[in-house]
Amino acid sequence: ISKIVICFNEILRRPNSILILWRLSESLSTLTEKVSKNNSKGIKKSTNDRYNLEILWREALLSYKYGRKDSIGHEEFEKDFAKNFCNYVEKGETFELIDGDNLRYFNQDINSLLSQLYTKQSQEIRSYETGNKIRMKQAPIVVSIIGPQSSGKSTLLNYCFGCKFLTSAGRCTRGIYASLAKLSIPINGSDQFLILDT
């Protein structure tokens, strides 16, 4: 596991992780702009001139999946990263479901992480017939939006559901992003929306 992934996981563990990630995102954006300007002037050539949080998330997911199982601390990293990812998603933060650069879906990893979240959120209720406690899992209602490029899909989802999908003039969403939104009043037994932004 790389030092960058370990540091990223440490950030996710902190109570103010969202603020730190926001600041990190701003710094990475500034770094990308500087490298891009230098490349256009011919000062320095870089094979990868994009630096952003998505790349850190991808690296962490790859370490979660392909990290050496026999390496020291990997089992602890897996448990810790899964817990941190679930906490991040529960806060309603957006996460990349399909990598828009490589069209890669970390299906087993994301499914594993989301199923841990789902199990964590399942509720214990008493059965009316027997009086025994049973665990009831409530699947989220999935909402997605599709439409022409730059037509305001992310902005609409942010406005309707209070999501935090990135928006700006000329920005194009690459891949598929998701966010979990809680409902104050359950609908059809579910108290959450899983919102997909394309």
Check whether 102 has a pLDDT greater than 60: yes
Between 70 and 158, whose confidence is greater? 158
Q: How many residues does the chain have?
A: 198
Q: Which two tokens stand for residue 141?
A: 């209602």
Check whether 162 has a pLDDT greater than 80: yes
Check whether 75 has a pLDDT greater than 70: yes
Confidence category of residue 12, pLDDT binned at 50, 70, 90: confident
To the nearest whole number, what is the mean pLDDT of the chain?
76
pLDDT score recorded for residue 134: 47
Check whether 178 has a pLDDT greater than 80: yes
**What residue type is assigned to position 194 of the chain?**
L
pLDDT score recorded for residue 120: 65
φ, ψ (nearest 5 deg) of residue 68: -65, 120
Between 155 and 77, whose confidence is greater? 155
Check whether 23 has a pLDDT greater than 60: yes
Check whether 110 has a pLDDT greater than 70: yes
Q: Give the CA-trace dihedral at 151, 153, 158, 161, to 10 degrees.
A: 140
> Within a 10 A sphere around the Cβ of 121, how many other Cβ atoms?
16
Q: What is the mean pLDDT of residues 1-15?
A: 83
Summarised one tens digit per residue, pLDDT across range 114-124 is: 777 777 666 54
pLDDT score recorded for residue 125: 47
pLDDT score recorded for residue 111: 77
Check whether 127 has a pLDDT greater than 60: no
pLDDT score recorded for residue 172: 72
Between 66 and 148, whose confidence is greater? 148
- Own/partner contacts of 167-175, CB < 8 Å, gap of 24 or more, are 173/100, 173/197, 173/198, 174/100, 174/101, 175/96, 175/97, 175/98, 175/99, 175/100, 175/101, 175/103
User: Are residues 89 and 95 in contact, defined by beta-carbon separation less than 8 angstroms?
Assistant: yes
The answer to whether the pTM exceeds 0.85 is no
Check whether 47 has a pLDDT greater than 50: no
Choose the weakest-confidence range: 36-40, 77-81, 156-160. 36-40
